[in-house]
Every structure is written in C-alpha cells, then in structure tokens.
Chains A and B, each alone.
Chain A
Amino acid sequence: MANSVERRNLEPWQDPRAMPYVRIDHVTKKFNDIYAVDDVTLDIYQGEFFSLLGSSGCGKSTLLRLMAGLERPTAGRIYIDGMDVTDMPAYSRPVNMMFQSYALFPHMTVEQNVEFGLKQDRLSRQERAERVSDMLTLLQIGELRKRKPDQLSGGQRQRVALARTLAKHPKLLLLDEPLGALDKRLRESAQFELVNLQERIGITFVTVTHDQEEAMTMSTRIAVMDAGRILQVDTPTAIYEYPEYRFVADFIGLVNLFEGRVVENEGDQVVIESTVGRRLRLRDLRPHAIGAPVTVAIRPEKLSICETYQEDGVNQIKGVVEDIAYLGDVSIYRVRVSPAMLVEMTLTNVQPRTEQVLTWGQEVAMEWSPTSGVVLTE
C-alpha cells in the first residue's frame, strides 16, 4: 500500500485523479504561414522535471515561450495551476524562465540581477535582501555578489541566471537549453546539480533541450517533438525501450531499423519477414494484420554474438564487420548484413582491446531475444 502511494507521487501522470499543473490544450502557434507549434496538447504535473526534446526548429522553444507568455498562441488555451493564463502577459505570469543566453543584465551586479525580479514584486528591502542572500547561498555564488556578468565564467553566469529566476519563487520554472552554453565536462556535473536542486526546492521544471542524453539523465518525462508536434510523451526508459514512432526510435540513441511485413500474428507473438531476408519474432500485444508493413527497432546493445546460427534461424543475422568504434567501456561494431544495410551491435569490452574476438572483415552471426525489439507501425 505504502509502495503504491509512493509510486503515485513519483508518477502523477499514472494517476487519473491527479490534476495537471500545466495544461496545454490544443495550442497552435503560427509565424506567418509556418506552424511552429501545431495543435499540441500536453499535461505536466507538479514537481515534474519535464523535458521538451527535439532537433532545432521543431517548435520546442516556441512551446516554452508560449508557457512563459513571451508568445501568444494562434489557437488553444494554456492553464497553469488551474488558471487560464492564455491572455496573461509575461510580466504577470507566476512563471519564470531561464534564457539560453542567460540574458543577465550587463549593467547590474550579480546581486542586482537577482534582486531585479523581487523589486518588481514590491517586496520590502529586508525581504529582498534575505531572498537574495538565500539564493546566492543556494547556488554557492555568494562571493560573486558584487561582480558584473562580464566578469563571470559560463558556469557562474548559469548559476546567476538560475538564482535570478528562482528568487521569485515561481510556480513553474522554464529552462531554455539550460546547459547548452557550458562545456561538456561542466555540463555533466551541472546536470546532476540541476536535478538535485529541483528535488530540493520542489518547483516544477520544464526544460528545452536538443541533447537526448541530457533529457534522459534529468527528466521525469520527455516529450519528443518534431515539426511542431509532440510525437511521444513518456519516461526516459519508456522512450528508449518502447518508442512509438520511427522518428523517436531514431532520435534517441542508436537503433537498427528492419523494414518488413507481418507474416504471422498469434497471441503476443508477431513474426515479420524482413527485407533483408530474415524472419524476426517479437513480443507485441497489439494485433497486427497479416501483410501489414512494419518497422522493427532493435537497440545495438540488445544484440549478442550467436553461437548456434542456422540458415533459417529466427532473430538471427549474419554479416561482415566493417567498422569498429572503440569507446573504452563498449565497442560499437558495424556489420554489413546486406549491400543496403549495416547493423550496429554494441558489446561491452570485458576483455582488453587486444584480446577481442571480433576484428575487421570477420564474419559474425548475431541474435537477439523476442522481447528486446519493438514493432513500429508509424
């Protein structure tokens, strides 16, 4: 019982009684004739760390700006905490945004930047001072309080920008590529810091990112966007293991896509005749019509070397190693299985590099289990 309560708190989207904190209801935003956001409906729950993921120009930033009130929707409504904010200008919304460029005021010190939003709220001088020093302490930038933005490093600016947005105690914090301006090493530690911060203060975060790794590490849920539409909203695990669209499967991580047609469908088993001439058997609960065209997505790490290869074996395929990408912990083998298709297989480097079994030009047979692939119809 206790377990199920805890689970509900962690995954409010599973609870039909939970009220969404942010509700985006059939929102469309057109710039001239271009649909930046195309009929998007989305619920975000309190305490979530929600990521909008997509390549540049997919509309994710526009969607964020719509929530901030920096853009007005062409159609649809936006609700925050049960209140219709669609026609509310940015300056009255209980929402704060951290800009990709951080947009720190260059003529103000760190302290003045953080205090700026508080002044607009007409808080007393004492309360402002308290909140400013709380924020500076929270983000460990107290010693920078008298500096101007151009005297700060990228990481320090990011903290100041965060402090400035959090100082207002927003109901919802929007972050546009929060780690985009940081270098790679800094970004990795900042990811964990951001998540820890969010858990500590309990504010709902919505971030925009094009970096799938970043989205996977930080988010409670991810919405994958393409061409102004949301394709799939799910937890990082579900997005990775059970993508619903080719685009999603392809966008997140590496994937092998086999085109084919359904030849058998009994119970939860589907057999697909693939265009490379092999039969694939997968577990899939949905009914599929015989002859329907489908795509099978199999992640490279789900493949293993096959010891019992048979000419008519199911979920087996053979080819020649063409490329090896040695990444230290794992190696990615690109195996030519037909003139038109390369299959990628990831193997953990248990043995040192010099003692590895596979090498260039070597023939290798691979296999996978029926539960490790996904049947995609779109």
Chain B
Amino acid sequence: MHKLLAKLRLRDRHLARLVNIGAPYLWLGLFFLLPFAIVLHISLAETALAQPPYTSLWEWVDDGILQIRLNLQNFSTVFHDELYLAAFLNSLGVALVGTVLCLLIGYPMAYAIATAPERWRVVLLMLIILPFWTSFLIRVYAWISILKPNGLLNHLLMGLGVIDAPLTLLHTQTAIYIGVVYSYLPFMILPLYANLTRLDFSLLEAAADLGCRPFKAFLKVTLPLSLPGLVAGSMLVFIPVVGEFVIPDLLGGPDNLMIGNMLWTEFFGNKDWPLAAALTLSLLGLLVAPFVLMQRLERRIEGEPS
C-alpha cells in the first residue's frame, strides 16, 4: 500500500515537473517557433495572385511524387539589391547613433535620479514614464508640428533671433535622431536607474579615500558596476530602433529609408509576402548577432567563479 502511494506521489511529482518545464516551452512553441516557421515557409515561396498571395512549397505530382520547391530567390534579392543593403546599413547606423545618443543623455539623467533625495526620485521617475500615457503615434505626430518649417521650434529660434530663416528639420536624418532619442530615452534610463540605485556609494568614498579623483572613481568603479544596466538599456534601444517604422516614416524623408519602411512597402504596397518574409528573417539574423555578442560580453564582465 505504502509502495503504491509512494509510486503515485512520484508520478505526481513527475507530472508537476513536466508541467513546469513544459509550459514555457509550449508558449515558446506556439507563439515564437510556429510563427517563425510560417514566416520561414513564406520566405521560401513565390508570389502568386492568390489568397494568401504565395505558392505552396510542396505539391503532389502524379505517380505519388512529392515535389518540394524551395525558392531562395528572395534571399538572393535581399542580399544583392543595393536598395535593401542601403536600408539595412541605414537602420544599423540610425540604431547605433540613436543608442549612443540615448546613452550620453540617459546616463547622466539616470545617475541624477538615482542620487536625488528619496522624495524627489518618485517624481523624477514619473516624469520619465509619463509620456507613455500618450500614444506613441500621437507623440511622433506632435514632433512633426514642432519640427516643420513654420513649426514651434523654428518660430522659437527665429523669435529669439538665433536664426533668420527657418531650418529644414522635418524629413531629414536629424529629425529621425530626434524622434528616436525622444521615444527611446526612457528605455535607456529605466534599466540604468534600476542598476545605479543599487550602487553602494561607500565604494566611491572608498575610491576617494584611496586617492582616486571623482571622475576617475566614476570610470573605475561606477561605470564598470553599471555595465549590466548599460547593456540592458542599449539593447532595449538598439533592437527596436533597427526595426523602427513609424519614426522614419513620419519624420524621415525619402532618402532615409530604414528596413522597417522596406518591409512595409513590400508587404502592403507590392504585396510581395515572400520577399517581405525574407527581409524579416534577415533582420532577425542581424539583431540576434549583437544580442549574443553583448550577452557574452556581459558574462565575461560579471566574471565566472573560478
């Protein structure tokens, strides 16, 4: 009897373990792997005037022969057409510069909030998060009326006598950077803030006590210890900016095409789903590489126990 109970309990435990481990895998399978497989499937198909607008990969020909046609043309187009290459490079460039700008502006802000008196911190953090209450799209639209030739910014600068003629800001690369920094700054500040509040400030006192001037103490102690927050913030900015569509579409000009715009055009404009899918997968590959690299870097900094 006891043995039976023990056996049952053991089976229960196996079941619980199966559910525990299985649930996340099921989730990943349903919402990541399956869609990924579908996109992969589409990227290897050909366009067709049909519903859905692509051909099937396999076909039964007579005599029981299964014919599978994998069309690699789309990937070839993506990698050989200079338009896509330029868009890829532009996306990476915008993401890189945008991330660096967010870092340069966000780090001092995060540091200031983390070192502010307790009662101020909540207020300052609220100010950072507050813009999220308004739709992202509306906020980017608002920038159009700020940046346009007879917009707020030009009015202000001309009123102050800084410039004589309106600056061309809208539909330029600068406008994209402004939009990117504005929209993604909180994603840089929040992880950095979370990291910096955990910083033990007696470490800086110890550094000073050991003869280290404040700026050097920052470089030697604060910066290395805030690296995990810095990496997290940079990834939270870099990855979505590479695939950004709204900001270049609204604020950028015809010369500032990013990969997100190309995707949109292929998918909705040209109805070329296979090419759009191939673009998507190339983009994914492009984003996974820096992610893996940064994670490896982070692991090296945190140090493996010897």
Interface, chain A (partner B; CB < 8 A): 68-70, 89-92, 95-97, 99, 101, 103-107, 116-117, 120-121, 146-148, 151, 164-165, 168
| Interfacial chain B residues near A103, Cβ < 8 Å | 200, 202-203, 205-206
CB atoms of B224 and A91 under 8 A apart: no
**Complex: how many Å from CA A120 to CA B210?**
7
- Tell me, in angstroms, the Cα distance from A13 to B303 when the chains sit together: 50
Does B305 touch A at the CB level, under 8 Å? yes
A101 close to B202 (CB less than 8 A): yes
Judged by a CB distance under 8 angstroms, whether B212 is at the interface is yes
* B194, CB-defined interface residue at 8 Å: no
Chain B interface, >50% SS class: helix
Which of the residues A99, A107, A116, A121 comes within 8 Å of B205, measured between beta carbons? A99
* Nearest B residue to A116, CB-CB: B210
Which B residues fall within an 8 A CB radius of A?
200, 202-203, 205-213, 216, 220-221, 224-225, 301, 303, 305-306
Q: Which residues of B contact A97 (CB under 8 A)?
A: 206, 209
A95: chain B residues at CB < 8 Å are 209
How far in angstroms is the closest Cβ of chain B from A108? 9
CB distance from A343 to the nearest CB of B (A): 45
Contacting residue for A105 out of B208, B221, B301, B303, CB 8 A: B221
In contact, A92 and B202 (Cβ under 8 angstroms): no
On whether the beta carbons of A89 and B208 are closer than 8 Å, the reply is: yes
Are B206 and A121 touching (Cβ within 8 A)?
no
Residues on the B chain within 8 Å of A90, using CB: 205, 208-209
Q: A105-B203, A107-B303, A146-B306 are in contact. List 15 more A-B contacts (CB 8 A).
A: A70-B208, A70-B209, A89-B208, A96-B209, A97-B206, A105-B221, A106-B203, A106-B225, A116-B207, A117-B210, A117-B211, A120-B210, A148-B303, A148-B305, A165-B210
User: Hey, which chain A residues are within 8 Å of B209, CB to CB?
Assistant: 68-70, 90-91, 95-97, 165
Q: Identify the closest chain B residue to A89 (Cβ).
A: B208
Measured between alpha carbons, how far is A182 from B214 in the docked complex, in Å? 31
Tell me the complex Cα distance, A121–B248, Å: 51
Residues in B neighbouring A89, C-beta threshold 8 A: 208
A97 to B, closest residue via Cβ: B209
Among B210, B303, B305, chain A packs the most CB atoms within 10 A around the CB of: B210
The smallest C-beta distance from A155 to any residue of chain B, in angstroms, reads 19
Chain B CB within 10 Å — which of A70, A91, A96, A121 has the most?
Answer: A91
Supply 6 A–B pairs (Cβ within 8 Å), ascending by A.
A70-B208, A70-B209, A101-B200, A107-B303, A117-B210, A121-B211
Of all chain A residues, the one with the shortest Cβ separation from B202 is A103
| Minimal beta-carbon separation of A82 from chain B (angstroms) | 21
